[in-house]
């Protein structure tokens, strides 16, 4: 991975290329963070955060909800996307304009024009919460990129290779950072290290991650 910077002022948003198909947009979402957090709070009132169960019977350490036409869920029957929240039997909340605009503009900035996400996974990490290395492969459309937005407490993002045992790079993501990957990098393994304790003025003792995907055909 390289450190090809599109801009040099690290106290302002700048982009760092991590490969041919992956870009780390430092601070890209910083100025819109307050609006994003308010929108997430509204989503969670309609579709509350919950710790889902994996097919193996393990409870995920991060709490999760969704917005958009499709939402990602897991339970004993497997991983999949659904149009309805299984907890409420209602459709997932619509994706707010501020979230959609951020996702499409970040994708554009990273070189992926025309990104039209139909799913936004919202993960809430409390101290000790983590996400093991995994691939995003429940989507029907691998041609679209993944757009991942970090809000609140800093967290180490592990960005690996195409095999689970490839040693991942450790990226210290800060509030407002966005990582976009697609193309040849689309199925790279990735995860996050356990969240360290702290406090952020917008999110309190947690970190919020938004992951935008084109899940349907």
Q: What is the pLDDT along the chain (217 residues), one digit of tens a residue?
A: 433 333 333 468 899 999 889 999 999 999 999 999 999 999 999 999 999 999 999 999 999 999 999 999 999 999 999 999 999 999 999 999 999 999 999 999 999 999 999 999 999 999 999 999 999 999 998 999 999 999 999 999 999 999 999 999 999 999 999 999 999 999 999 999 999 999 999 999 999 999 999 999 8
Task: Spell out the alpha helix ranges (H) of the chain.
Answer: 33-46, 97-109
Check residue 186 and report its DSSP letter.
T
* pLDDT score for 11: 63
Count up the domains in the chain and report the number: 1
Neighbours of 191 (CB within 10 A): 15
The domain containing residue 201 runs over which residues?
4-8+16-213
Write the CATH number for 151.
Answer: 2.60.120.590
CA distances from 151 to 91, 164, 194 (A): 25, 27, 15
Q: What is the pTM of this model?
A: 0.94
Beta bridge partners of 211: 121, 148
* pLDDT score for 142: 94
Measured distance CA(158)–CA(210) in Å, rounded = 16
């Amino acid at each position: 991975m390289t450190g090809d910077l599109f801009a040099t002022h690290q106290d302002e948003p700048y982009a760092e290329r991590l490969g041919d198909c992956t870009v780390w947009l430092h601070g890209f979402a910083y100025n819109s963070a307050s609006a994003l957090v308010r929108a997430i709070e509204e989503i969670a009132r309609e579709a509350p955060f919950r710790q889902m169960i994996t097919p193996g019977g393990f409870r995920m350490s991060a709490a999760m909800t969704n917005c958009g036409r499709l939402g990602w869920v897991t339970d004993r029957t497997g991983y999949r996307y659904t149009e309805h929240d299984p907890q409420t039997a209602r459709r997932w909340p619509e994706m707010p304009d501020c979230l959609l605009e951020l996702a499409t503009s970040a994708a554009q900035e990273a070189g992926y024009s025309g990104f039209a996400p139909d799913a936004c996974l919202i993960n809430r990490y409390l101290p000790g919460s983590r996400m093991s290395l995994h691939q995003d492969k429940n989507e029907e459309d691998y041609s679209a990129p993944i757009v991942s937005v970090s809000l609140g407490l800093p967290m180490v993002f592990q960005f690996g290779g195409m095999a689970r045992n490839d040693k991942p790079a450790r990226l210290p993501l800060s509030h407002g950072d966005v990582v976009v990957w697609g193309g040849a990098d689309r199925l790279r393994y990735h995860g996050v290290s356990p969240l360290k304790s702290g406090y952020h003025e917008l999110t309190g003792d947690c970190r919020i991650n938004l992951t935008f995907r084109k899940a349907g055909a």
